[in-house]
Amino acid sequence: RIFRRNIAGVSILELLTPPGQEAPEMLRLAFTDLFGLPADQTASALKNIPPVIKINDRDVRIECKFIFHATNTAEQPLLMMMLTDITEILKAEEEIHYLSYHDKLTGLYNRAYVEKALQEIEQAGVSPLSVIVIDMNGLKITNDMFGHEQGDRLLVAMAQVLKNTCRSEDVVARWGGDEFLVLL
């Protein structure tokens, strides 16, 4: 049984219809099949229900669980669904993933990304490979005389020059401090 309650102004079947599907028929059949299965097969059948859906630009996690009544095995099980808004969690995870491979100041790739990319290049046997190492002269003097804000502006400007100069398939990274690296 599914409680006939509307969430976000639509039926539960419409709510769970994957993007791109015209009608909730696939899910209607999936739920019909779920309730017709023996108890030991329901857990695997629940995997056909999408784990995350979009409702009004919000990411909602769906967790489904069958509840069986121990006293009456002839009665159909209840389907408990928990809908949890995880939009902020997904945004935070996306930002963490981005920052793990990008320099926060310049937006270029960072050292961790370059090391990962080099491993992938080595495993794929890509050749020829060219490496350009760039060291900015005078950054320490700029920081000392004009402040770190001005030094940061120089780093950002240098990053922009490298982005505009290199090809889209090249890996442009801030290696650390005032050093940049380009993999061609």
Which of the residues are catalytic?
Answer: 178
Dmax over Cα atoms in the chain, in whole Å? 82
CB 163 within 8 A of CB 172: yes
32 Cα distance to chain centroid: 32
Q: Which of 41, 183, 164, 37 is nearest to 109 (CA)?
A: 183
> Locate tokens 């190492």: which residue?
133
Burial readout 27-53 (b: 16 or more C-beta within 10 A, e: otherwise): beebbeebeeeeeeebeebbeebeeeb
CB 106 within 8 A of CB 136: no
